[in-house]
Amino acid sequence: MAQYLNETSRTFSEYLLIPGLTTKECVPNNVSLKTPLTKFKKGQTSDIELNIPFVSAIMQSVSDDGMAIALAKNGGLSFIFGSQGIEEQAAMIRKVKNHKSGFVISTANLTQEHTLKDVIQLKGKTGHSTIAITDDGTAEGKLLGIVTSRDYRTSTDRLDKKVKEFMTPFSNLVTAQLGISLKEANDIIWDHKLNSLPVIDENNNFKFFVFRKDYDNHKDNPLELSDSQKKLVVGAGINTRDYKERVPALVEAGADVLCIDSSDGFSEWQKETLQYIKSEFGDKVKVGAGNVVDKDGFLYLVEAGADFIKVGVGGGSICITRETKGIGRGQATALIEVAEARDEYFKETGIYVPLCSDGGIAQDYHMVLALAMGADFLMMGRYFARFDESPTRKLIVQGNYVKEYWGEGSNRARNWQRYDMGDTADGLKFEEGVDSYVPYAGSLKDNLAVTVGKIKSTMCSCGTTSISLLKEKAKITLVSSVSIVEGGAHDVIVKE
């Protein structure tokens, strides 16, 4: 006979936190959101710690190199999507690892034989008004000059005028040598009243631009997540099929942490993948596994060697797994059970395995609840898809700005490995995700500031200044559907 779980499967919206004593030290400025990413022994700390408890979802519509750079600068981490070729994914990792704050690889480049018409077209396409002129028109060619909007007048100049006739030639440029620090580059920019400074190597090959306008942006990223060589930290999604080729390529490219990406991770495929990685690379390569929703799944993957466990089946905003397959569990209930298993495991073994709550965060307050319920960090797709930095198109739909957001189990992503049941190699048999729009919300940095502010404020109301204290001290209550109504504005006529 089937086993019945008596507990109802519940989600975050069904819970609230009860305020605890807020002491005078308990102010948002004193709250730290530092949190472990990978397992560690009692008395030690995790090899990788996030400065904010957020990672972006392993999805085509969320986590490319652009998102990874922006999120790491703000203290979190992206797992670059794995539903792409191995080389393409490794190239994205390399871009993040090679990113140097303030040193921009130019995406607007031409040769001196191009014309003013080409300059205007490129400016329209890229939005960049500073164009590098190199011998081969690439971002790595020999630097011959630069063109900015001060070099031409569209009202009087001929469109077929050659770039070499109006560019600022190399001989008149102030340049810097590769190896210069950002501080030194900015000093040159100030001393020479420049808007941009090209950085070249000893053979005059073009490397980067440093822009005056970027300086302030780069000064205020105190939470930036970087490795021992000051390079941004980045993760990558992998699957249980091509891991023998993909993992070495990603490690070679510099990925700091991997995560097996699957809608249902309680499988022998994941065990084999974990065992292969640990036997080939030992503890040097960190790898998370999942997703699971109960104690059995948690223990299975931890014993197979996982460095963190991802929790959640069917709760994602674009996910229809529960509807199509009838599997899953309310995200809060899943998290509460797995967190209990994790705490027991810690007591028995002295090994702390961080938990990632994945999917279903629809409100900022859900984040604090998830952390209070035992998550160490949160994976979010919808939240990040709304920002400028996500890789998808921004469109106007019915008069509102939106961004595209599609599931990995949708026909659009065709990520069959994520839904693989061992015989799916010929393609997805049915969809488990939808293609959608999310309201456009602006820049990641601005939105994170508000979200983090709310989380810190709630933590202070609970009388806690760290995530581990929150887990220990939080008092959580179930709410009735009637009291949920009480929680919003009610019995008033809200003004427009």
Annotated binding site for NAD(+): 261-263, 312-314
What is the Cα 218 distance to its own chain's centre? 19
288 scored as a contact of ligand RVP (CB under 6 A): no
Cα dihedral across residues 158, 162, 163, 166: positive or negative: negative
Between 310 and 456, CB nearer to ligand RVP: 310
Angle subtended by helix axes 86-98 and 65-73, to nearest 10 = 30
Binding residues: 261-263, 312-314, 316, 319
Between 410 and 464, CB nearer to ligand RVP: 410
Least Å distance, CB 36 to ligand RVP, is: 19
Which one among 305, 391, 409, 463 touches ligand RVP, defined by CB under 6 A? 409
Binding residues for K(+): 314, 316, 319
| # chain residues binding ligand RVP, by CB under 6 A | 22
What is the Cα 15 distance to its own chain's centre? 27
Write out the binding residues for ligand RVP, residues 148-167 only, by CB under 6 A: none
Write out the binding residues for ligand RVP, residues 430-459 only, by CB under 6 A: 432-433
Residue nearest to ligand RVP (CB): 433
407 scored as a contact of ligand RVP (CB under 6 A): yes
Residue 487 CB neighbour total at 10 angstroms: 11
Helices (H), ranges, 305-359: 321-325, 331-349
380 scored as a contact of ligand RVP (CB under 6 A): yes
Q: Residue 6: is it exposed, middle or buried by C-beta count within 10 angstroms (0-12/13-18/19+)?
A: exposed
Which one among 379, 402, 448, 452 touches ligand RVP, defined by CB under 6 A? 379
Asked if 374 and 55 count as a contact pair (C-beta separation under 8 A), the reply is no
Cα dihedral across residues 213, 75, 62, 237: positive or negative: positive
Alpha carbons 293 and 299: distance in angstroms, whole number: 11
Between 109 and 417, CB nearer to ligand RVP: 417
Alpha carbons 391 and 60: distance in angstroms, whole number: 8
428 scored as a contact of ligand RVP (CB under 6 A): no
332 scored as a contact of ligand RVP (CB under 6 A): no
369 scored as a contact of ligand RVP (CB under 6 A): no
Instruction: Name the helix (H) or strand (E) containing 274.
Output: helix 268-281
Active site residues: 319, 418
358 scored as a contact of ligand RVP (CB under 6 A): yes
Which one among 410, 417, 447, 464 touches ligand RVP, defined by CB under 6 A? 410
Residue 50's SS3 state is strand
What is the Cα 477 distance to its own chain's centre? 31
Least Å distance, CB 379 to ligand RVP, is: 5
Which one among 408, 447, 465, 467 touches ligand RVP, defined by CB under 6 A? 408
Stretch that binds ligand RVP, among 140-148, 347-355, 357-365, 469-477 (CB under 6 A): 357-365
318 scored as a contact of ligand RVP (CB under 6 A): yes
53 scored as a contact of ligand RVP (CB under 6 A): no
DSSP code string of 172-241: G---EETT--HHHHHHHHHHTT-SEEEEE-TT-BEEEEEEGGGHHHHHT-TT--B-TTSPBP-EEEE-SS
Structure-token match 């949160």, residue found: 378
Angle subtended by helix axes 243-253 and 268-281, to nearest 10 = 50
Least Å distance, CB 55 to ligand RVP, is: 9
Residue 104's SS3 state is strand
Going by C-alpha positions, the residue among 305, 381, 309, 378 that lies closest to residue 338 is 309
321 scored as a contact of ligand RVP (CB under 6 A): yes
Stretch that binds ligand RVP, among 143-151, 172-180, 349-357, 406-414 (CB under 6 A): 406-414
Least Å distance, CB 140 to ligand RVP, is: 35
328 scored as a contact of ligand RVP (CB under 6 A): no
Which one among 36, 76, 360, 374 touches ligand RVP, defined by CB under 6 A? 360
Point out which residues bind ligand RVP (CB under 6 A): 57, 59, 316-319, 321, 358-361, 379-383, 407-410, 432-433
